[in-house]
Structure 1
Amino acid sequence: MSNGLASCIWSWSISVDLLRRYVFFASQSCIKELLSASNSNRNHCSKTNLYRKREMGGGAEDHLPRKQPNQHTHTKYKLKMLVLVILTNLLTLYIFTGPSLTLHAISKYTQQLSLPLWDSTTLLHQLNTTRHDLAASRSQIADLQRQLKFTNLLLEALLIKIKTNKTTGSTKVNYDDASTAMSHEVMLAVGSHKLPLGFSPRMGSDEVYPSVGGGCLRFQDELTQYMSYNVGGECPVDDVFAQRLMIKGCEPLPRRRCHPKSPAGYVEPKPLPASLWATPLDTSIIWDPYTCKNYECLIDRKNVPGYYDCKDCFDLQGREKTRWLFDNGGLDYGIDQVLGIKHPGTIRIGLDIGGGTGTFAARMKERNVTIITSTMNLDGPFNSFIASRGLIPMHVSVSQRLPFFENTLDIVHSMHVLSNWIPDSMLEFTLYDIYRVLRPGGLFWLDHFFCLGSQLNETYVPMLNRVGFKKLRWNAGMKLDRGIDKNEWYFSALLEKPMT
């Protein structure tokens, strides 16, 4: 019904427009005819006067004016034309200044029309929507172009390989050509590989695919640069570049067929348990990617102005020496108090997210608990330092899906890394992933989570409730080092995954 009414209103608006045009041209035509009649009348009067003069000049017997039979007809015609002009002009004024299509009887229907007639607000809204859709389409086109470029790269490598095989009769690729080798490595790194024994019922396929993050496909130029090396030779020292790719979502990175550079004068680390609290030798690290070129520089960073990730955590004889040893009943939880919540020996394995130099794992190892520490090398050799202490590092970002199976870990800990700098939706995915890998009854120790006072109860408490953790301990306190007016807060929580 609304469609039929809309059609009628649309047809009526067209009719009004045609009527306006007709009235305008009709009035113009009438005016022209009136002027024409006036001119004709003038000509007639001139001829009549001429005849009179001639007759008067010829004699005086018929000097009275003669009867004009068409004079009455012309007068009536003039009056009709004048009335018509007046009426048409009045009608035109009414149409142009009248209520038009804003009549109350149809206004509620015209608002529902897909094509508004004189609603500028709706037209502006549709224009903005069209611009947004156009921008989204351009973004999709750009993404498709990048994918097409990457596909062309793989196709080019495949064609080169086929051509080489036909020429040489072997599967060996000519790596003297740098571009050929690079394209071939990208293809091998991200392409599928046929199973030697054919179709596998367990896998449901006859192919296997390398585990490469989807983000790699969005940065083909960077991926190609990362895969540019001499096969069998030494890998470029590009740790910083590789981490930038990981942060962009290219995680895990593709494998490479090259050898990492080894430290010069390498010496074996100290044995356990002495290695847990000993600073390793400088010869254990490749220092090329980092600002500091030795451990003395890293330890001294706590005295240097400016911000550094985990600024004082390389100083194992400083604040690191006392972390998690004491429980103050507030934000600082002690390891022994946390482990005492569960039966002895039931907390055995776990994960420390963003664990810096591995001190939490070292404290847990002293209590026969194995902790894997995830960390990035943000301007410091964190992974190498953790390994030198006899602990297990894992080089992954906080955005990656945790590489553990469901219901396997006894405890997950995170200090400072999980905070309000992470987008809310991304943080919620992370919390659900932590819930996934914890076994029933497993502990999630959220240590010094930073946020603003307005976010505490409005965002993060409801988020944790949605995930479904059970609260065993909860403490909140203001962060006062920058002033009370900043309204900055910490909260620590000991949460448990329910048994059912």
Structure 2
Amino acid sequence: MDQYCDGKSKKPPPPGKRRCRCSTTMLTMVLFAFTNSISALLSSGAGAFLLRRYKAESVRIWDWDDSAALLKDLNATQSALAASHAQLADLHVHLGTANSLLETLLAGMATRDGDGPAEQRDMWWDRELSWELKIAVGYHRNVTGDVFPAVGHACGRFQDDLERYMNYTPGGECPSDETLAHQLMLKGCDPLPRRRCRPRSPVAYVQPAPLPKSLWAIPPDTTVVWDAYRCKNYSCLLHGGGEFDLRGREKGRWMRDDGALAYSIDGVLAVRPNGTVRIGLDIGGVSGTFAVRMRERGVTVVTTSMNSGGPSGSLIASRGLMPVHVSLAHRLPFFDDTLDVVHWTPELGGRSVADVTLEFALFDIYRVLRPGGLFWLDHFVFSGEQLNATFAAMIDRVGFRRLRWNTGKKMVSALLERPMTYDRED
């Protein structure tokens, strides 16, 4: 006779109950296999897959009519388990990829901080860079130390300084720390990331003098916040002489040609038809006097300034001129083939610059000059060996044509032009 589901009773099941044709041992084995399968899935992290697939109320062993239904459900469970194992294997692949990326990131951080081999310290990339890009993003040694071109990652090399620079209250007042900003820019951390603060307004600000009076007027001290500078007023800067001396030295600059290193503006403009030199750039003009002289002759010149010796940008703007805050590590913010003239006087009396940094700058100047545009190198300082063996060849390699070339003791002045056409050397 058939044994009912309690394993002992011979009585027929109550109405509504179904008979179970499986033995207690079989049921125990099925439950054991089922619970072990679930445990394996849960321990492997794939339990969620089954929990999504099978709701609790759907698992009712007592509802199985026969072994075929049981087998069918077991097959479905095995299929789900196989799918879970495939999913787990895929997760292992992703985990391996993530671990590889993490190892690469940690290695990059180590090399960035100087813990890795020197040849790897510039490798912030997933693969070996092509030679030109590798040179462009690598560091170059300058008189100020290692310089990193402004391609977005250089700031990461100077985290302590950058964190000090970014230590301000968003929406509040910007700290007066021009010296720190200057140091970061010279290292290639440019453009600087400070965005959400306001510069402090000077107390008792005075409106600038009108043109043309403003071109030679010394602005009131109340037009600048002086906290960030060694000098605390314009009088201090003027007493220091140099390019801030608007009442003395600056009055005679570029007014005469001595036949050697000193060129006159009128002599330079004379090499082009009258009126064809209209717009230009002055690199390193601390006071803006070159732009003043050109403006007096109807030429509009933008002046780069780094605020290294004082508030150069404020002084230039007070004279009615346009200053731009650009370092040698920064690509010049002008379109190709646009400027009629570029004048370059090394800031603060002239300094030698690294070969690679200088070559980048010369190619960029070539880029922004229009065909036939003039490039005026004004009292550049070099060691004699560097001038003869490196710089002269570099000028020719960039593609400039020499209109005038004068050398002195460790110094050169030159008037160059970008040719109207460039003959490629095959």
What TM-score do the two structures reach when normalised by structure 2? 0.63
Give runs of aligned pairs for residues 27-46 of structure 1, distance below 5 A. Answer: none
- What is aligned with 2:197? 258
Q: Deviations over 1:176-228 (max 9, x none)?
A: xxxxxxxxxxxxxxxxxxxxxxxxxxxxxxxxxxx973211223333333223
Letter in 1 for 2:116: S
Cα separation, partners in 2 of 1:379 and 1:335, compared to 1, 3 Å: closer
AA aligned opposite 2:406: N
Aligned ranges for residues 97-496 of structure 1 at < 5 Å? 137-138=116-117, 213-302=152-241, 312-417=242-347, 421-478=352-409, 489-496=410-417
CA distance in 1, matches of 2:250, 2:262: 14
CA shift, 1:354, in A, is: 0.4
Report if the CA contact (8 A) 1:233-1:259 is conserved: yes
Amino acid at match of 1:137: G
Q: Distance in 1 between matches of 2:173 and 2:117?
A: 41
**1:141, distance to aligned residue in structure 2 (A):** 8.2
Structure number, greater radius of gyration: 1
The change in CA–CA distance for 1:427 and 1:419 in structure 2 (over 3 A counts) is farther
Matches within 5 A, 1:42-57: none
SS in 2 for 1:439: strand
CA contact (8 A) 2:190 2:329 kept: no
Greater displacement, 250-259 / 272-281: 250-259
For the pair 1:499 / 2:405, whether they are aligned, the reply is: no
Letter aligned with residue 409 of structure 1: L
Instruction: Please state how far the C-alpha of 1:414 moved relative to its aligned partner.
Output: 0.9
CA distance in 2 between counterparts of 1:273 and 1:325 reads: 19
CA contact (8 A) 1:212 1:252 kept: no
Alpha-carbon distance between aligned partners in 2 of 1:420 and 1:225, rounded to the nearest angstrom = 28
Alpha carbons of structure 1 residues 143 and 367: separation in structure 2 relative to 1, 3 Å = closer
- Corresponding position of 2:102: none
Shift, 1:255, TM fit: 3.9
**Which structure has more RCO (C-alpha within 8 Å, separation ≥ 6)?**
2
Q: Shift in Å at residue 143 of structure 1?
A: 7.8
In structure 1, list runs of 5 or more residues that go unmatched: 1-134, 148-210, 303-311, 479-488
CA distance in 2, matches of 1:143, 1:435: 28
Q: How far, CA to CA, are the matches of 2:227 and 2:358 in structure 1?
A: 33
Please give the per-residue CA displacement for 1:81-112, whole angstroms capped at 9, x wherever unaligned: xxxxxxxxxxxxxxxxxxxxxxxxxxxxxxxx
SS for the counterpart of 2:374 is strand
Structure 1 residue 420: Cα displacement: 5.7
1:240 counterpart SS class: helix
Q: Match for 2:369: what amino acid?
A: L
The unaligned stretches of length 5 or more in structure 2 are 1-113, 126-149, 422-426
Relative distance call for 1:271 and 1:455 in structure 2 (3 A) is: same
Confirm or deny: 8 A CA contact 1:212 1:254 kept in the other structure.
Answer: no
CA–CA separation in structure 1 for the residues paired with 2:383 and 2:316: 32
- For the 8 Å contact 2:375–2:415, the answer to whether it is kept is yes
Q: Once the 2 structures are TM-superposed, how far is the Cα of residue 328 of structure 1 from its aligned partner?
A: 1.9
Query: Take 1:242 and 1:427, find their aligned partners in 2: how far apart are those partners?
Result: 22
| Cα distance change on mapping 1:136 and 1:255 into 2, 3 Å | closer
Separation in structure 2 between the aligned mates of residue 495 and residue 242 of structure 1, nearest angstrom: 33
Query: Separation in 1 of the partners of 2:351 and 2:333?
Result: 24
* Separation in structure 2 between the aligned mates of residue 425 and residue 230 of structure 1, nearest angstrom: 38
Taking the aligned partners of 1:473 and 1:142, their CA distance within structure 2 comes to: 42
**Kindly tell me: are residues 366 and 220 of structure 1, through their superposed partners in 2, closer, same or farther at Cα, counting changes over 3 Å?**
same
CA RMSD of aligned residues (A): 2.3
CA contact (8 A) 1:213 1:253 kept: no
Q: C-alpha displacement at 1:249, in angstroms?
A: 1.3
Please report how far the alpha carbon of residue 268 of structure 1 lies from its aligned counterpart in structure 2 after TM superposition: 0.3
CA distance in 2, matches of 1:457, 1:142: 32
3-state secondary structure, aligned to 2:116: helix
Q: Which residue of 2 is the match for residue 83 of structure 1?
A: none
Taking a change above 3 Å as real, the CA distance of residues 405 and 378 of structure 1, as seen in their structure-2 partners, is: same
Gap change, CA 1:364 and 1:424, over 3 Å in 2: same
Shift of 1:416: 3.1
- In the TM superposition, residue 340 of structure 1 has moved relative to its aligned partner by 1.1
> 1:214, 1:249 within 8 Å by CA — same for their partners in 2?
no
**Moved segments of 4+, more than 6 Å:** 140-144
Matched letter for residue 213 of structure 2? A
Amino acid at match of 1:281: P
Richer in helix (by share):
1
Which deviates further from its counterpart, 324-333 or 440-449? 324-333
Shift of 1:492: 1.1
Contact 2:317 2:323 (8 Å CA) reproduced: yes
**Please, what TM-score do these two structures have when normalized by structure 1?**
0.54
Q: For the Cα contact (< 8 Å) 2:178–2:229, is it kept in 1?
A: no
Give the SS at the match of 2:243. coil
What is the rounded CA distance, in whole Å, between the counterparts of 1:442 and 1:142 in structure 2? 39
AA paired with 2:310? G
TM-superposed CA distance for 1:330, in Å, is 1.7
Aligned 8 A contact 2:336 2:367 in 1: yes
Q: CA deviation at 1:405?
A: 1.4
SS in 1 for 2:244: coil
Partners of 1:375 and 1:396 within 8 A in 2: yes
Q: Name the counterpart of 1:155.
A: none
Report the 3-state secondary structure (helix = DSSP H, G, I; strand = E; otherwise coil) of the residue aligned with 2:297.
Answer: coil
